[in-house]
Chain A
Amino acid sequence: MLEGQFRNPSGCAISGVIDRSGRRMSGECMIRSISTMHDRSNGLGGGFAGYGIYPEYKDYYAFHLFYDGAASKKETEDFIGSHFDVAFQSAISTRKTAGVTDAPVIFRYFVLPDSRKLETRKLDEEEYVVRAVNKINTEIKGAYVFSCGKNMGIFKGVGFPEDIGRFYRLDEYEGYAWTCHGRYPTNTPGWWGGAHPFGLLDYSVVHNGEISSYDANRRWIEMYGYKCNLQTDTEVITYIVDFLLRKKKLTLGEVAKVIAASFWTTIDSKPEEDREQEILLRKMFPSLLINGPFSIIFGYTGGLMALNDRLKLRSMVVAERGERAYIASEECAIRAIEPELDYVRAPRGGEPVIFELNGGVK
C-alpha cells in the first residue's frame, strides 16, 4: 500500500533554529543537529524547511515538485504554464548520497499567478495558489507539489534525515530559520511525498507524535475544502493551522489555545479576561482540539512556533543563545550545534513558544 492509503503511525525527531537578527545560516547546522538524534529515525523519511533561502526570488511562490517521469512532468508544466507566470525553473540539484536511493525527478519553479486568471476567479492570490497546488496533487498522477511558499523551501525524501540533507546540498543554502524532521514510521512508506515537513504556502509543520483525535480533526477540516490525501497527522495539523490563521484570522497564540486548549479546570482558574476568551475559543472550535501526543514546530515567514500537546506526552525543549533560538525533541540536538546556551527549558504542555524576527519580516 502507498502512503495516503492507510494511517502510518510514526515516532520522530524534530529540530529547529531561528536567528532573530535575520542573519542567515547554512542548512549544515540542521543536518548536524538532527544527526545526533539518529536513533529517533529509522531511515524511512527525513526532511527540512528553510526560510529566507530564496532572496533573489522572494516575491515568487517557489514550487518544489516530485515527478515519477516525463509524462507527469509535461502535464504539470502545461498546467503551471497556463495558470502562472514562471520566472525561473530548473531541476533541484542533488548530490549522490549513500543511503538515498530511488529518488524521483525533482524540480523547482518560481511562479506568480497569471494575473488575468486571478482576476476572473475572484480569489485572493494565496487561495488561488492553494487550489492550483491541490489540483496538481489530486489530479495529475505521478506529480506532487511538496513546497509552495514564498522565500522558503521544503526538501524531503526517504532516507535518514542527515542523508537527505546532504542529498539536497543544504550546506549550499542559507536561511534565517530552519526546521527538520527524522521519521520513524511503523510501516514502510515507499513514497517521497510522505516524508515531512508538510507545507502549505509558507507554512510548514514538523511533528513528533501520533494524534488520537485524527479522524475527528480530519472529518471536521474536510468540511472546509481541505482534502487529507496523505492521512498523516502533519497534514491535518497544517490544514487546521492554515484554517485558523489564514481563513479565520486568529493569532498564533489563539491558535494554540484551540489546538492545545487548556483544561477546563485550568481555564476556570484564569483571570476573567483570559477565561472568557479561552472558553469562547473552545466553544467555537471544539473539533479542532488536537488530542494525544504531539510536539510540533510550526514554521512561517518570520518565525517559528513550538507547541506540545496539553499533557506533554512528547519531549521537546527550547533554548536561546543571543539572537538564536532553538527547538528540538532532545537537548543534545541543540547542544550539538550550540554547546553554550543562555538557557534551555522544557515548555509546559499546551504552552506556545514563539520566536520571531526582530522587527518582523523585511
Chain B
Amino acid sequence: MEPLFVYPEYEIVRDRESCITCRVCERQCANEAHRYDEFNRKMLSDSTKCVNCHRCVALCPTHALKIKKSEDTYKLNANWTGDALNEIYRQAGTGGVLLSSMGNPKPYPVYWDRLLVNASQVTNPSIDPLREPMETTVYLGSKHAEIVRDERGRIKDTLAPQLKLKTPILFSAMSYGSISYNAHASLARAAEQLGIYYNTGEGGLHRDFYKYGKNTIVQVASGRFGVHPEYLEAAAAIEIKMGQGAKPGIGGHLPGAKITDAVSTTRMIPKGVDAISPAPHHDIYSIEDLRQLIFSLKEATAYKKPVIVKIAAVHNVAAIASGIARSGADIIAIDGFRGGTGAAPTRIRDNVGIPIELALAAVDTRLREEGIRDNVSILAAGSIRSSSDLVKAIALGADACYIGTAALVALGCHLCRSCHTGKCNWGIATQRPELVKRLNPEMGVERLVNLVTAWTHELQEMMGGMGLNSIEALRGNRLMLRGVGLTEKELEILGVKHAGE
C-alpha cells in the first residue's frame, strides 16, 4: 500500500533570474529531484525527492539554488509533532521498520558544550606552541608491565604491543561497502601521511589497501565478513566490534543495493542481498567467551598486535569495560549514542545508548577505582565534532578519539542522513561508479590531512594555554575542566567541578 502523501520537509528554491539552465543540478542529483523541461526550456524540481544533501547547491555555477525548511505544517502540537505523524503515515503505508543513518539528531544534552577548559596565568605560565615543543604523540596499549632488567641492568621491553599515534586521533570504523572505494582510499592514505590509523569496519579489506596495513586497524565483527589470516596479518591492530553507539544491541546492516562485485569479494558474501550481521557474536555469550576470542586473535597474530574491543555506550558500560580490561584487551573503544552509522533502525539510533561524555567519565573513573586503568588504553568515539571536544575527552580520561562523521564531513558529506539509500551524491556512502568517482582521493586525502593537522594545532594551542606541553599530562586531568549549568549528579559522574569552584 502506498503511504499517504507527506509534504516534503525541505523545499528546493530556485532563483529563476540567475538560473542559466546549465542542467548541472539535474546531472548531479542521484535522487532525480531536478529535471529539464524541454518544452518550456526551464528547470523543474521535485522537492519530494530531495534529501537535502546540498550537492546541487554547492555545484550550481550561479548559486541559483537553496534548500529551505518547509513552512508547511500540521496543526501545531508539542506532543504529536509533525515528525511523529509522518513516521506513522510511512509505517502505516509500508509495515516496515524505519531506517535512517548517521548519528542521533535529537536534542539530547551535548555535555561537551557544558564543559569549559582552563588556562594558566600568574602562578603558572602558559606555553607558546609556536616557540616550544608541544607533544601530541601517544602510545596506545596496556601500560601494565613489570620492571625486568637484563644482565647489564637495562630495563627490558616487557610491554604489550603498542600503537604509536602522532596525534591522538584515529579514523573510526567505516566499512568498505557502507562507504565507497574512494572514501576508503582517502582515509587509508591520510592515516599513513598523518602517522595515525584508519579502521576497516566490518567489511573486510580491499586488496588494493593491504599496502596501508601499518596504518590499518582491521575489524572483526559478528558477521565475520572478510576475516581471514592474511587480513589479520596485514593490520597494525585488530578491533573486535561488540557494539556500535548508533545502534547498540543490533548488528550491522548493509543494503543489498550497495553489494557490488568488489564489495562481495572483499566481504566474502553474495552479491546484491542485504548483509545483516547477527546482533551478538554467536560465539560470545559472556565475558569469558570474549576473552577466548581476544586470545584466539592474539594467537593467530603471534601476540604482536594490540586487540581493541569496541563497545557501545550503554547503561552498565563501566561494569562492562571493567570486565574487558581484565580479559586481555589492550584497548577499549567506547562509542557514544551520537555516533554515526551507514544504516540503523531509527528508533534504535534515537533512543538507545547514552552520551559518550558520561560513559567515558564513568569508565575512566571505574577503571581507576579498581586499579586497572593501566591495563588498557581508552578510545572515545561518538560525535567528536572539533578539537575542543577532543581536548575535553582527553581531559576526562580518553587516550585518543575516533572520528568518523567529522572525517566524512571533511570529505564533503553534508549530513543528509540518507546513506542507507546508497545514492550519496558526494561519492561517499555509495557504490555507484558514477557517484563514487565524484570523490577524488587526491583531494580527499588533502582534506583529511588538513582537518587533522588543523585540529592538532588547535589542540596544541589549548594545551599550551593550560601550561601543558605533553598530551600525557592532559589525559585524565579533570581539574582542567569545569562544568556550566550541570546538576550535582552530572558533575559527580563527569568528575569535574562547577565553573566558579
Contacts and interface: CB of A to CB of B under 8 A. Distances in A.
Contacts of B47: none
Interface stretch (A16-24, A41-49, A283-291): A283-291
B123 A9 contact: yes
B458 interface: no
A263 B135 contact: yes
A79 interface: no
B368 A249 contact: no
Nearest to A290: B473
Interface string B449-476: 0000000000000000011111011111
B466 A287 contact: no
B472 A286 contact: yes
B135 A214 contact: no
Contact of A216 (B125, B133, B135, B472): B472
A284 B157 CA distance: 9
A215 B481 CA distance: 11
Interface stretch (B139-147, B180-188, B231-239, B406-414): B139-147
Contacts of B127: 311
Interface in B111-161: 120, 123-125, 127, 132-133, 135, 137-139, 143, 145, 147, 154-155, 157, 159
Given A11-B123, A286-B139, A291 B476 contact: no
A213 interface: yes
A105 interface: no
B498 to A, nearest CB: 14
B373 interface: yes
Contacts of B137: 264
Nearest to A254: B155
A214 B477 contact: yes
A191 interface: no
Given A210-B123, A213-B474, 4 more contacts: A212-B120, A212-B466, A215-B478, A263-B135
Interface residues of B, number: 37
B155 A280 contact: yes
Nearest to A184: B123
A117 interface: no
B258 to A, nearest CB: 41
B479 interface: yes
Contact of A215 (B124, B467, B472, B480): B480
A24 B472 CA distance: 42
Contact of B125 (A248, A285, A286, A313): A313
Interface residues of A, number: 45
Interface stretch (A63-71, A140-148, A220-228, A322-330): A220-228
Contact of B477 (A186, A216, A310): A216
A10 interface: yes
Interface string B159-194: 100100000000000000000000000000000000
A250 interface: yes
Contact of B124 (A9, A220, A265): A9
A184 B400 CA distance: 37
A281 interface: yes
14 contacts: A11-B123, A212-B467, A213-B473, A216-B473, A216-B475, A217-B473, A219-B368, A222-B368, A280-B157, A282-B139, A283-B162, A291-B472, A292-B467, A311-B469
Contact of A10 (B123, B157, B373): B123
Interface of B is mostly: loop
Contacts of B145: 284
A194 interface: no
B155 A277 contact: yes
Interface string A11-41: 1000000000000000000000000000000
A277 B145 CA distance: 14
A212 B124 contact: yes
B371 interface: yes
A54 B105 CA distance: 70
A263 B155 contact: no
Contacts of B446: none
A290 B477 CA distance: 12
Contacts of B143: 283-286
A234 to B, nearest CB: 15
Contacts of A313: 125
A219 B125 contact: no
Given A7-B479, A215-B478, A250-B147, A289 B123 contact: no
Interface string B371-397: 101100000000000000000000000
B147 A287 contact: no
A212 B468 contact: yes
Contacts of B469: 291, 310-311
Given A214-B479, A215-B477, A280 B468 contact: no
Given A215-B479, A263-B135, A264-B137, A210 B472 contact: no
A270 to B, nearest CB: 14
A209 B162 CA distance: 33
A137 to B, nearest CB: 21
B41 to A, nearest CB: 65
Contacts of A254: 155
A56 to B, nearest CB: 36
Nearest to A9: B123
Nearest to B141: A283
A223 B367 CA distance: 9
Residue picked from A217, A248, A291, most chain B C-beta under 10 Å:
A291
Contacts of B373: 220, 223
Interface string A255-298: 00000010111000000010011001111111101111100000
A311 B154 CA distance: 27
A287 B472 contact: yes
Residue picked from A212, A219, A250, A290, most chain B C-beta under 10 Å:
A212
A222 B478 CA distance: 14
Contact of A293 (B125, B135, B479, B480): B125
A127 B137 CA distance: 36
Residue picked from B132, B478, B479, most chain A C-beta under 10 Å:
B479
Nearest to B496: A215
Contacts of A215: 476-480
Contacts of B147: 248-250
Residue picked from B123, B135, B143, B373, most chain A C-beta under 10 Å:
B123
Contact of B473 (A212, A250, A276, A283): A212
Contacts of B374: 223
A282 B164 CA distance: 12
Contacts of B124: 9, 209-210, 212, 292-293
B152 to A, nearest CB: 9
A214 B477 CA distance: 7
A9 to B, nearest CB: 4
A281 B157 CA distance: 9
A263 B120 CA distance: 21
* 8 residue pairs, one from A and one from B, having the closest CB atoms: A213-B473, A291-B473, A212-B467, A215-B479, A9-B123, A216-B477, A286-B472, A210-B124
B42 to A, nearest CB: 62
Contacts of B466: 212
